[in-house]
Amino acid sequence: MTTKVPARLDRLPWSRWHWMIIIGLGTVWILDGLEVTIIGNLSAQLAKEGSGLAITQAQVAGTAAALYVAGACVGALFFGWLTDRFGRKKLFIITMVVYLVATAATAFSFSAWWFFLFRFLTGFGIGGEYAAINSAIDELIPSRHRGRIDVVINGSYWLGAAGGALLTVPLLNDLPVNIGWRVAFGLGVVLGLGILLVRRHVPESPRWLFIHGRGREAEELVDGIEERVETEKGERLSEPSSSMTIHQRRSIGFGQIAHTMVARYPKRTVLGFSLFIGQAFLYNAITFGYAQILSTFFKIDTNTGYFFAVIAVGNFLGPLLLGHLFDTVGRVPMISGTYIGSGVLLLGTAWLFNQGVLTAVTLTACWCVVLFFASAGASAAYLTVSEIFPMETRAMAIAFFYAIGTLVGGVAGPLIFSHLVESGKPGDTALAFVIGAVLMIAAGLVEVFLGVKAEGKSLEDIAEPLTSASAKSSAAAA
């Protein structure tokens, strides 16, 4: 099948239809931020007598956090494979339902094992979201806007983090100890239901449709999108000249996906691992463990939300203010610069903390500056792995790098971090900071040498689809 669908989508002017995509799909990151922040700031409250759970703060910040991340890794792999096989839309509906059920069940926890189980299942649903949502967004957003939009959407996680942090303050101070944390999880369910209603109107990816033997449906879908945009703009769209020929297939085998990532794009695979491991350790450690730092070193347990909200604002401002530079200055200088810069700043924070010169306020200010840069880089990690591999492997690639990187950094991070903080020694906590900083700097250096210049390019130009006619010819010749 010869099609112009990718070129037609890339040449669309920005419109209300694109905003609908962002609201319907991108807002899930707000949910993830809400989830992770709530559990981090509730750790001291859950450990109190009368909370309804026989659990320690270290178990909440360490064990429960690690199980949530482990669930997200398993969910990403499982739903990522299904997303490439059965389509983006079916899976971003299913994964949201899984999240809603698991979060509601968490609110009714009556013992530690129940709490741990449904934290794992909540992560299972969120992990699936990462694969389905990032692949759908990249395939629907025009190439000239893709970098900025993807970075800002992934950065919107921190809007949820700020909201979750602020919500925990009245819930912890104004409600009984056994009620406030349950209400906090219930609010996540309410927000998720609203997102699910909007998401029903988001279409399947036309790029996925034409590769999987549904070419007529893809063409008709793009016809409808163009008609809406032309009506809104009051002018006819020009016909793109570029096209591509595809050998349509119903499914792509997992063996071929693995071979593509390891044998065809080995340098890009190393790049993806490096970016994800660095940001996963840093972010999961500090997100789940910052309330523990405030409680252990500064005796702050019920008002941690105020401090975390400041950090969250810095995290969101980074992608918001720096996002357009990923499309103009370029991917390689921006990703390497944000990773290395944040790592160097974090080393300085570790030294100041070890010297005992920081208060709760000044430590929060330091982390706010560090994460302003780190957040933009971490958001770009998702952008990178979603655009540098072929269309047929996109969701699975996102899931694969997220799962492996997060298992290494995201599970180890909270466990190591909580153990070091629990000792109560400033030097141990500073060591946790240093580990995160070194990993970020190392990932930034990998980007310098292996980064891909993807700014402004069509997804098909960055990585040719496995089912394209030219790719088939090359494979046959080889």
Q: Over the stretch 48-77, which tens digit does the pLDDT of each residue have?
A: 787 778 787 777 777 887 788 789 888 988
Cα atoms in the 13 Å half-sphere on the side-chain side of 433: 24
- The pLDDT value given to residue 311: 86
Q: Which amino acid is it at 379?
A: S
Q: Among the residues of 215-324, which ranges form H helices?
A: 215-233, 254-259, 266-298, 304-322
- The pLDDT value given to residue 288: 59
CB 157 within 8 A of CB 33: yes
Residue with tokens 């310098």: 448
Cα atoms in the 13 Å half-sphere on the side-chain side of 172: 24
- The pLDDT value given to residue 7: 92
Q: What percent of the chain has pLDDT over 90?
A: 33
Q: Which backbone phi and psi does 189 adopt, to 5 degrees?
A: -65, -45
- The pLDDT value given to residue 198: 77
Residue bearing the bigger pLDDT, 24 or 442: 442
pLDDT of 477 > 70? The answer is no
Using CA atoms of 110, 116, 121, 127 in order, give the dihedral in degrees to the nearest 10. 140
Q: CA-based angle 221:222:228, to the nearest 5?
A: 95
The closest of 410, 171, 156, 417 to 305, measured between CA atoms, is 171
pLDDT of 37 > 80? The answer is no
Cβ contacts of residue 257 below 8 Å, gap of 6+? 84, 392, 393, 396, 397
List the single range of 119-123, 284-288, 410-414 with lowest mean pLDDT. 284-288
Mean pLDDT, rounded, for 243-259: 72
- The pLDDT value given to residue 469: 58
- The pLDDT value given to residue 11: 92
List the single range of 133-137, 273-277, 321-325 with lowest mean pLDDT. 133-137
CB 138 within 8 A of CB 394: yes
Question: What is the enclosing helix (H) or strand (E) of 341?
Answer: helix 331-354
Q: Over the stretch 467-476, which tens digit does the pLDDT of each residue have?
A: 775 555 444 4
Using CA atoms of 81, 83, 87, 88 in order, give the dihedral in degrees to the nearest 10. -170
